[in-house]
């Protein structure tokens, strides 16, 4: 259902009104509604990957914090960053880089579980929100998370680094802390890859 559907229903009821100026006005309003629907669509879905945007991701983060506060489920935040995207764009063009992002996005969608969430966080970064039962043991969570990441890696030609952290407290402070820890974890992996690459030269 589109955000403007209720307004369109009202316009449909007015469609049979005879004055031509009313008909013209209705056509003008419909055109404006089409523009509004397009804006809403573009603000919630990334045009390159088809994944939800950061705006939707922020909503899902708040939702995760609410569930944590209620003691219902536990969430792991995974920050995923494409390796060497700039170099790929410089060597092969931005169309290739976009294809890489789209391929990775598709791999993520087919690899996560129905209870998980994935979005394009911005640029070459993606965010996964993995949901687990509150009482699930940490080693089991880590194993399931690792399986998801292995499935993603097997389904995409994009190379990536990732890091994760558990949401430990509700509210925006808890979200920022978990995202910061996941981001630091991701950069440790990325820097380790760079050191290994340099040592082989």
Active-site residues: which are they? 124
DSSP per-residue codes, 50-91: -SB-HHHHHHHHHHHHHHHHHTSEEEEEEEEEETTHHHHHHH
CB contact at 8 A, 72 and 135: no
3-state secondary structure of 154: helix
23 contact partners, CB below 8 Å, separation of at least 6: 15, 17
36 contact partners, CB below 8 Å, separation of at least 6: 3, 4
CA-nearest of 82, 63, 81, 78 to 148 is 78
């Amino acid at each position: 259902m589109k955000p403007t559907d209720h307004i369109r229903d009202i316009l449909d009821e007015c469609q049979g009104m005879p004055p031509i100026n009313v008909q013209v006005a209705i056509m003008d309003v419909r055109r404006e509604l089409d523009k509004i629907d397009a804006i809403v669509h573009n603000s919630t879905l990334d045009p390159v990957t088809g994944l939800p945007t950061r705006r939707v991701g922020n909503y899902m983060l708040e939702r995760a914090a609410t569930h944590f506060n209620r003691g219902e489920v536990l969430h792991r935040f995974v920050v995923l960053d494409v390796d060497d995207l700039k170099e790929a764009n410089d060597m092969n063009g931005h169309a290739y880089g976009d294809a890489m992002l789209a391929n990775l996005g598709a791999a993520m969608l087919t690899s996560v579980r129905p209870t998980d969430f994935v979005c394009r966080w911005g640029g070459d970064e993606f965010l996964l929100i993995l949901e687990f039962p509150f009482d699930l043991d940490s080693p089991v969570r880590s194993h399931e998370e690792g399986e998801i990441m292995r499935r993603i890696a097997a389904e995409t030609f994009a190379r990536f680094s990732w890091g994760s952290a558990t949401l430990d407290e509700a509210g925006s402070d808890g979200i920022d802390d978990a995202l910061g820890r996941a981001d630091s974890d991701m950069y440790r992996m990325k820097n380790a890859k760079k050191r290994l690459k340099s040592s082989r030269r």
